[in-house]
Amino acid sequence: MKIAIASGKGGTGKTTVATCLAQVLAETGLRVRYLDCDVEEPNGHLFLHPEIYESKPVTVPVPEVDREKCVGCGLCAKICQYAAIACVKKKVVTFPELCHGCGGCARVCPAGAIREVGRGIGVAETGRSCKIDFAQGCLRVGEAMSPSLIRQVRDIPTGAELDIIDAPPGTSCPAITAIRGADFVLLVTEPTPFGLNDLALALDMVRELDIPRAVVVNRHEDENLSARKFCSERHVQIAAEIPDDRRVAEAYSQGLLPVIALPEYRPYFLDLWANVNKLATGTPGKEPA
Amino acid sequence: MKIAVTSEGSTLEAAVDPRFGRCKYFIVVDTDTGAFEAVDNVQNLNAAQGAGIQSAETVVNQGAEAVLTGHCGPKAFRTLSTGEVKIYVGVEGTVREAVEAFKAGKLQASENADVEGHW
Ligand code: SF4
Ligand code: SF4
């Protein structure tokens, strides 16, 4: 089973939820892998302290034009959806940083002038943290092609029974790439008006992808009424409600997993997991289609 | 010779658009005859990426040998240079004033892009 932990915006505690869940479930004897697909800012390692066994460069194929063979027909520029290759005065200019590696230009070139070369965009790393299998992608600073890297991290083969995917925040391509193929998505939110607004956008995205989902409300105060009302209106279940607690933030700032520093938090994550299983198998409370 | 001026409107009295890739129009002027044509650039106004590159292709395809604009990013600059188009940045005022300044030799061609991307 693969579950993705996502959020409409950054800073909701997505990584805390993902790493704590991984830790608690690994302790129950489940073989768990944590995948950090938040490749622009992977920070799960700060809490899991993994030992990295392997670090592989990840590349995207970009065109290299042989000027001797090129006849200047401009077909490559015409097919490219990303303006990554231009043809002016029968001369070709390439912009590898814009290229998505679709291979279209090489396919249409009548002169066989284009060959593909790899351009490095980051690394995919695998390792282990105590009982948890670990994988993460680290994107090069300033690099825009994060979906290619996310896909490669997401698809690293595994022997784990459960994959916990820490998805990038937001609702654009990187988030969608990380979530696609998951069996279940947990959307982490804060119960503030801004938080719920971003949650609404994230819910739309997951609904579009047609993946079973539930909400984790993080850092709620008192009765958590606003988030409950929101979720009941949007017909989505709340899988966990984690109270606001300064000690959690303190543990976090010291690079400690809250469930290790504060064992009383373990039941929240065991319950969360029980709820996910219930919802994923479509028993009580599945939202109407 | 033909020159292209980035413009906020379709006439010679319109203001020079400071953006190259996302300008509203190119006014392509024949400096010998004074004839001009407004080329709509809306499709690039909303392009997600590569607006500068595609605008540069438009300019080259119009047969212009020089571009007068406010700012030009590195990708557009490379494309224009490959297309043997000279680039003049920091141009202000109306299109007509810009063309006059160019004809009077008051403008100086740039050697490099003057901004980082997204223009
Ligand atoms: S591989 Fe695809 S995206 Fe890259 S330059 Fe060629 S056509 Fe454009
Ligand atoms: S399609 Fe091939 S031959 Fe035509 S311009 Fe592009 S590289 Fe040159």
pLDDT confidence of residue B47: 75
Element (H, E) at B10: none
pLDDT of B43 strictly over 90: no
pLDDT of B42 strictly over 90: no
A238 occurs within a structural domain: yes
A185, A179 in Cβ contact below 8 A?
yes
Q: What does the block give as tokens for A151?
A: 């896909």
pLDDT tens for each residue of A12-28: 999 999 999 999 999 99
A134 occurs within a structural domain: no
pLDDT confidence of residue B49: 82
pTM for the complete prediction? 0.81
Q: Is B9 on the interface with A (CB under 8 A)?
A: no
A93-102: average pLDDT:
93
pLDDT of A287 strictly over 60: no
Interstrand relation of A132-139 and A114-129 (parallel, antiparallel or unpaired)? antiparallel
pLDDT confidence of residue B44: 77
Q: Which of B15, B1, B115 is nearest to B67 (CA)?
A: B1
Distance A65 CA to ligand 2 centre (A): 8
Cross-strand pairs, A55: A125
pLDDT confidence of residue A285: 43
Rounded to whole angstroms, the Cα distance separating A243 from A256 reads 18
Q: Closest Cα of chain B to A196: distance in Å? A: 28
- Whether A101 and A189 map to the same domain: the answer is no
B5, B21 in Cβ contact below 8 A?
no
Output the ligand 2 site: residues, CB below 6 A: A 65, 70-76, 87, 92, 108-109, 111, 113-114
Rounded to whole angstroms, the Cα distance separating A60 from A239 reads 38
Helices (H) and strands (E) counted in chain A, each on its own, are 11, 11
State whether residue B73 is helix, strand or coil: coil
A229-243: average pLDDT:
94
pLDDT of A286 strictly over 60: no
| pLDDT above 90: percentage of residues in chain A | 90
Q: Pick the residue with more confidence: A195 or B114?
A: A195
Q: How far is CA B29 from CA B6, B51, B97, in A?
A: 11, 22, 12
A41 occurs within a structural domain: no
What total number of domains does chain A contain?
2
A124-139: average pLDDT:
96
A289 occurs within a structural domain: no
Architecture, CATH, for domain B2-103? 2-Layer Sandwich (3.30)
- The band of A190, judged by pLDDT with boundaries at 50, 70 and 90, is very high
Q: Which of A49, A214, A40, A287 is nearest to A142 (CA)?
A: A40
Rounded to whole angstroms, the Cα distance separating A76 from A109 reads 6
- The band of B11, judged by pLDDT with boundaries at 50, 70 and 90, is very high
pLDDT confidence of residue A282: 63
B68-89: average pLDDT:
96
pLDDT confidence of residue B119: 54
Residue of A nearest to B53 (CA): A83
A70 is in which domain, residue-wise? 59-120
pLDDT confidence of residue B46: 72
Locate the domains of chain B by residue range: 2-103
Q: Closest Cα of chain B to A279: distance in Å? A: 38
DSSP A197-251: HHHHHHHHHHHHHT--EEEEEEEE-TT-HHHHHHHHHTT--EEEEEE--HHHHHH
Mean pLDDT of chain A: 93
Rounded to whole angstroms, the Cα distance separating A226 from A228 reads 5
A45 occurs within a structural domain: no
Rounded to whole angstroms, the Cα distance separating A106 from A108 reads 6
CATH of the domain at A168: 3.40.50.300
pLDDT confidence of residue A288: 45
- Whether A166 and A265 map to the same domain: the answer is yes
Give ∠ CA A259-A46-A7 in degrees, rounded to 5.
75
pLDDT tens for each residue of A237-274: 999 999 999 999 899 889 999 999 999 999 999 999 99
- The band of A125, judged by pLDDT with boundaries at 50, 70 and 90, is very high
Interstrand relation of A184-189 and A162-166 (parallel, antiparallel or unpaired)? unpaired
Residues 30-89 of A with CB under 8 A from B: 77, 82-84, 86-89
A193-220: average pLDDT:
95
Residues of chain B with Cβ-Cβ distance to A86 below 8 Å are 53-54, 56-57, 79, 82
pLDDT tens for each residue of A20-66: 999 999 999 999 999 999 999 999 999 999 999 999 999 999 999 99
- The band of B117, judged by pLDDT with boundaries at 50, 70 and 90, is low
